[in-house]
A and B are shown apart, each in its own frame.
Chain A
């Protein structure tokens, strides 16, 4: 187990390096430059801009910039953001908790709802309930995240006024709220973004879980369990569900990157100050250090998510448990 984790962490570092390199190349291949906008400005002299470029090391050859970045990164230094004028690591650390909160809430909805609905469907395959839910999940699954976000916003915030339009907390009231009030305020703001992200994910998970259940229930041990006189409930919850969860756990590893990319859209729609919003803004401003930093962090999170899924699988399936 320990050897396995070590090996995977080493892999994670290699992946991170690959991601950094690729992002670096893409950033510099893309048209535009952090000071393109500044060059148009009548208030800045070309000399001043040249000076700024030199300060940020942008006048050096690309490969020098690259080596220097990787070298600094290895020492934990992610550089200073061009646009925010503060260390990248600070900006990321500010945004990360918001994204993690959103992702965690969405994950709970995604898997909680998806597994429940998918199991229900699989155990009652072919019934009206199953067919209706299949249509619903297919529709949801094919819905673009940002569109769903906008619709929820339109209905629940604009029209019904039930939820805030965006942000993490109420900008005016928050400081004056009691601790409990603060928590509720945060949850209240979290609702729509989390549901947006969670619903689309849940639809996919439900379809996956339904298929997994169908795959399991035609196996002999389910019939054998019934033949021993177990109730349908026991057969479903103890045998079908448990076995069907194995493939779904591996889905968890795949869901994580989808969730992060979904978070980019959702955070933009709901003005949620997380990693997604930070990254989008950084890309638009050609803020190289911030884009690179955010990408590295996202890559590490994806690798970590996969690692967690693999570990969970090993714990859940006794057949893989003893292997080193």
Chain B
């Protein structure tokens, strides 16, 4: 079966005063219909850039997408579409929700109108029908008084409600794939759990695929089917959730797990991974993780590992896969 989304050799960067920087570098990934992929990586690894480039939502320039890249949705290369055709895919094929629910809603327009206009963008319905649909969507995302809420301006709602509204607006085009870029990071802990549960529930009910971006492996553990780990613009490991979380193959994943107390109850707890995240203007030579890797040896700094696969759908970009005896403790 063809995947719903297939990203091939995606390279995205920004023009900066110091020259072009490649923030997403040769990333390939696939998503099947209805599947949930967790994309994990620390701040600055290029997750948001990747997410936005899927719909060409970055301002180009300063952003650029390498011409060799392919983003195929249901077999259509989105990067080859003209802007008007591409627009019809945004919100209907792929929809996005963002980290900060406060800033993803227009402050001067009633939330009902914001959802209704998204409904209108994808179907030929009248104003009244679109408004009713907006109220339905607000009910779907669990707002108690959807009719009243529709008449509110964003500042009249709480943070959690705003994120629900943003989700409702994203669902207006009945997307097949929802890209959620750190949807809970800006919320407090109890709300985080509620929003995650809502996303999982919606995914199931509506049969959407979900690309869930987070720096928190705990979030992935809750609702992902598969996990991809991103470091310094590259994917470094991918596999089923159980495999990756129980037997991380990449030292970076391992370190991330150790820094996630909820998943790693035994052994030493590290607050964060030692060393600083690398600077995209000059990625380290060889394996980009080598300056911070506890297993690194000379080969790691001179030669970059390719994607070395184990079983199907499971691979790692690390030389340890060829020399497992070097991994101790």
Contacts and interface: CB of A to CB of B under 8 A. Distances in A.
Contacts of B199: none
B107 to A, nearest CB: 6
B246 interface: no
A124 interface: no
B154 to A, nearest CB: 9
B153 to A, nearest CB: 4
Given A229-B91, A230-B117, A234-B117, A243 B106 contact: yes
Contacts of A225: 106, 114
Contact of B92 (A226, A229, A239): A229
B104 A318 contact: no
Contacts, number: 85
A226 B153 contact: no
Given A318-B153, A318-B155, A319-B153, A228 B118 contact: yes
Residue in A225, A227, A228, A319 whose Cβ sees the most chain B Cβ within 10 Å: A228
A219 interface: yes
Interface in A206-247: 219-221, 223-232, 234, 238-239, 242-243, 246
A246 B108 CA distance: 10
Given A219-B103, A234-B121, A227 B108 contact: no
B157 interface: no
A227 B103 contact: no
A243 B172 contact: no
B118 A230 contact: yes
Contacts of B88: 229
B108 A228 contact: no
A105 B92 CA distance: 46
A220 B100 contact: yes
Nearest to B88: A229
B165 to A, nearest CB: 11
16 contacts: A221-B104, A223-B57, A223-B104, A224-B98, A227-B90, A227-B170, A228-B169, A228-B170, A229-B87, A229-B90, A229-B122, A230-B91, A231-B84, A238-B117, A317-B107, A318-B153
Interface of A: 219-221, 223-232, 234, 238-239, 242-243, 246, 316-319
Given A221-B106, A229-B122, 5 more contacts: A227-B95, A228-B91, A238-B117, A317-B108, A319-B107
